[in-house]
Amino acid sequence: MDRAATADKIAALIAPFNKKEVPITDATTFAGDLEFDSLTVMDFVAEIEDAFDIIISMNAQAEIETYGQLVDAVVKLQG
């Protein structure tokens, strides 16, 4: 799956978690813009892992702060 298709799929997965309907761009931050707390992050990561059949390590999760970084990480993990 290319980056654009991956980005679209992740954007669709974010929608139920995006309570304030924040516009999603590569620079959108999970903690700041979307106001995800730790429980929301865990639920969202589980959705991503299930949807793409990947595992995002705790170390990788700690480094992902923006939507763009997440898309890039998922593309990389898909090989």
Query: Which position has the higher pLDDT, 1 or 75?
Result: 75
Kindly report, residue by residue over 5-54, the tens digit of the pLDDT: 999 999 999 999 998 999 999 999 999 999 999 899 999 999 999 999 99
pLDDT at 45: 94
**Residue ranges of domains in the chain, CATH in brackets:** 3-78 (1.10.1200.10)
Note if the pTM is more than 0.75: yes
| Count of C-beta atoms within a 10 Å radius of residue 26 | 12
Alpha-carbon distance of 75 to 5, in angstroms, equals 10
